[in-house]
Homo-oligomer: A and B are copies of this chain.
Amino acid sequence: MNFSSKLLEEAVAEVARLPGIGEKTALRMVLFLLNRPEQEVERFAGALLKLKKEVNFCSECGNISDAPLCSICTAPKRDRSLICVVEDSRDVMAIENTRQYKGLYHVLGGLISPMDGIGPSDLHIGKLLERAGKGEAKEIILALSATMEGDTTVFYLYKKLKDIPVLLSSIARGIAFGGEIEYADEVTLGRSIQTRVPYKGEA
């Protein structure tokens, strides 16, 4: 595109780096911000910077949290015998929205993906094994996307967890193959948690 201003070009380039945002959409967003009062743009930029600088991740489950322990890990009413393993915080929110699950979570922070150079050591897996080994959890539910990376991660976790006396289950694959958890509708996602199937050793 033919920008009349270097400043504009730089701002558009930054916004176009976001996932799913092309150059035209980025330009539309940047010009929208440019038309807003300066204090609104400052609030916008400030909210993102503040989040990045001050965000905490729960030391227990890895979920985004303002406190050292997240509100789910500290809630007295949650069922501490259940741990649901998910890829990221969006999945926690998606499952919480179904109101079908009352256990705890464990956020991996990604999936194993050799293509992207993401190995098991890049994920929050050590802490999961530590939590599983403590004996409080009776069941670990794997709620990972039905993609190649999700299956690879399930297989890796199965191998690591199979000697720990805890039931390993997977959410029912009622969600479409190749689909991502966060975009499943609430009814399907809620049902797939209720109809989870125990592993029979084939992973």
A66 close to B (CB within 8 Å):
yes
Interface residues on A, range: 35 or more
Q: Which residues of B contact A183 (CB under 8 A)?
A: 24
Q: Nearest B residue to A46 by beta-carbon distance?
A: B45
The smallest beta-carbon distance between A62 and chain B, in angstroms, is: 11
Q: Which of A1-21 contact B (CB under 8 A)?
A: 1-8, 10-11, 13-15, 17-21
Chain B residues lying within 8 Å of A4, measured Cβ to Cβ, are: 58, 63-65, 70-72, 89, 92-93
A176 at the interface (CB under 8 A from B): no
CA of A13 to CA of B43, assembled, Å: 11
- Taking CB atoms, residues of chain B closer than 8 Å to A21 are 29
57-91 of chain A: CB within 8 A of chain B = 58, 63-66, 70-72, 88-90
Say whether B8 contacts A55, CB under 8 Å. yes
Give Cα A85–Cα B29 distance, bound, in whole angstroms.
Answer: 22
Copies of this chain present? 2
Give chain B residues whose Cβ lies under 8 Å from the Cβ of A53.
Answer: 38
Q: Please state if B97 and A31 are interface contacts (CB–CB under 8 Å).
A: no
Residue pair A51, B28 in contact (C-beta under 8 Å): no
With contacts A18-B32, A34-B55 known, what are 20 further pairs, Cβ within 8 A? A3-B93, A4-B65, A4-B93, A7-B47, A7-B54, A10-B47, A10-B50, A14-B43, A14-B44, A14-B48, A15-B48, A19-B32, A20-B25, A27-B93, A30-B48, A31-B88, A31-B89, A38-B53, A44-B48, A45-B48
Shortest beta-carbon contacts, A-B, top 9:
A45-B45, A11-B51, A41-B52, A14-B47, A2-B96, A11-B47, A7-B51, A14-B44, A5-B64
11 contacts between A and B (CB under 8 A): A7-B50, A7-B54, A11-B47, A14-B43, A14-B44, A15-B48, A24-B182, A33-B52, A34-B64, A41-B49, A45-B45
Interface residue ranges, A against B (CB under 8 Å) = 1-8, 10-11, 13-15, 17-21, 24-25, 27-34, 38, 41-56, 58, 63-66, 70-72, 88-90, 92-93, 96-97, 182-183
